[in-house]
Structure 1
């Protein structure tokens, strides 16, 4: 029997499936300014979307706090004893969580600013609780290798992992690479044309190879030109186009998709994330009907009817 949890309560129906909590923004007496990560990035994204009238406070799905029992779906008790509680958001159909994407964390070890294995937890919750969801594809387009979820799903044939990353930067986890079904290793300074061609080719290839019941899309913006940790040279327009490519591929196949924003270590990344979300909206790739319109798979329809239970994500307090 699934454990008891408050993370799968239905959000009010008018809510847009964009998940956020003010607690995503990390502050500590100004010390956060000394860190390369923009700790207020997520709140800035939401403010940009409000300015463009895409969302309002009462239409955002509020993240909920995960209990230890929830986190034990993935993590060991020993590991949890080292950490504070986090935030877990429930979603439906398509979803964008403006936080999350902690892809260096595995079930028993954190790493690279990542304390909770939110991608692993989202997928395991789906497998445990949503009837008919038995296959998942992770499309990880952060500049860094997603070694956390790779280690967690090393021997799990239900999960297909595609990972596109700078081959020369952290974490360089050779063991975790064994879990990647479609591996694309990039050179220093890779630019838009080459990058977008590879993303398009391999996203199409991955989804043609296996049609999943859910896509978890790790949309890191640390691929942006000038990022101090990513080492790539993708333009803001390239990032917007990248997200469009992934959502179009999901939409054509009627596959629900969860996007998390992951890494991105420049002040301008918040504006780029907001611009990308607005572009997806303007193209009709995200709307209230996306999850159900023309859905041919009764398992997907059942997933959406059952509740707003099909996507979960974590963010640090």
Structure 2
């Protein structure tokens, strides 16, 4: 998702010895309140206003647009593609939910403001009372995490889903970083594997500009999770240990443009699907690949992003595999409009259906 600041060049998100943690057994997911039923008059797009971060203007000290998620929805509403009544509002991930993948010590560490400041890369946040950070920063992340988990359920039921937030791919079970406080991708997969006996293999297609070292550290050595990761090899996190979990690694040079980028997406998404034949797909659709993004340092156009998402949905949907899309990184003010344009295009091409019964 986000690149660490120049004063916090971490070699990795989690210690190499932390591939195992003291998280609760995943069977306890059955006691969670994150899986809720939705009506036929709703579409599997997950969002609530609590996703957006408002910390007395301090959120503007990070290049990330802390209101991106709400802006995406505003664009979709203007086009009359969604309404408040058709969107799905998720529940907040509770501590019990988070303990399914996170260590108790890590969750305890978030009660210290200095640790939250490091993860969000906003140094002045270290001086903010933790109770305020819990409410204004971590609670939005917990809602987005709940949204990703719920999106997993909806994808199984409807064939596809989009969480307007989520995609915190630098966070693993024992540590956060890069603006990622909770491991929503890992948690979503745990829920899928726990609740659906027919889902035995899950593929992560991570097309954010940064290496997804959080979920990679969580699933290293696992044969039921296949990771395709395509990223700029010259930027954060350059986590050599985590790369051992990647089954299909595509490292890009800085300022890669549309033609080369889309050719690699087409080739490697197809190859990964054929090689693994997953029962569900988590698509981390970061828009920090867009030209001008100072953290992603790639040169894909807006139309290139729209085409990228179309390629992924086309290849997954033609195999009738449930797909969950999360929005992940993207650090320009134009990012929200591009995401909305892509969702609009997916609807136009009939890879998703925004109509209600």
What TM-score, normalized to structure 1? Answer: 0.89
What residue number does 1:44 align with?
Answer: 71
CA distance in 1, matches of 2:63, 2:191: 32
Shift of 1:26: 0.4
Shift of 1:12: 2.2
What residue number does 2:204 align with?
Answer: 138
CA distance in 1, matches of 2:39, 2:329: 30
Unaligned runs of 5+ in 2: 1-26, 111-133
1:8 aligns with 2:74: no
For the 8 Å contact 2:81–2:354, the answer to whether it is kept is: no
CA distance in 1, matches of 2:209, 2:354: 30
1:249 aligns with 2:249: no
Unaligned runs of 5+ in 1: 290-317
What residue number does 2:272 align with?
Answer: 206
Per-residue CA distance 1:114-149 (angstroms, 9 max, x = gap): 000000000011111112111000000000000000
CA distance in 1, matches of 2:62, 2:97: 30
Shift of 1:288: 6.7
1:73 aligns with 2:90: no
For 2:291, what is the secondary structure of its paired residue? coil
Per-residue CA distance 1:245-300 (angstroms, 9 max, x = gap): 000001110000000000000000000000000000000000279xxxxxxxxxxx
Q: Which has the higher helix share?
A: 2
| 2:221 maps to which of 140, 155, 158 | 155
What residue number does 2:18 align with?
Answer: none
CA distance in 2, matches of 1:67, 1:113: 19
CA distance in 2, matches of 1:5, 1:219: 26
What residue number does 2:122 align with?
Answer: none
What residue number does 2:184 align with?
Answer: 118
What residue number does 2:334 align with?
Answer: 268
1:183 aligns with 2:241: no
Paired residue total: 289
CA distance in 1, matches of 2:83, 2:310: 23
For 1:201, what is the secondary structure of its paired residue? helix
Per-residue CA distance 1:10-66 (angstroms, 9 max, x = gap): 122321100011111101111122210000000000000001111000110102111
For 2:198, what is the secondary structure of its paired residue? coil
| 1:29 maps to which of 56, 64, 67 | 56
For the 8 Å contact 2:193–2:200, the answer to whether it is kept is: yes
| 1:19 maps to which of 43, 46, 70 | 46
Spell out structure 1 runs of 4+ moving beyond 6 A.
none
Q: Which has the higher contact order (CA 8 A, sep 6+)?
A: 1
Deviates more, 1:195-204 or 1:4-13: 4-13
What residue number does 2:123 align with?
Answer: none
For the 8 Å contact 2:82–2:354, the answer to whether it is kept is: no
CA distance in 1, matches of 2:51, 2:218: 24
For 2:44, what is the secondary structure of its paired residue? strand
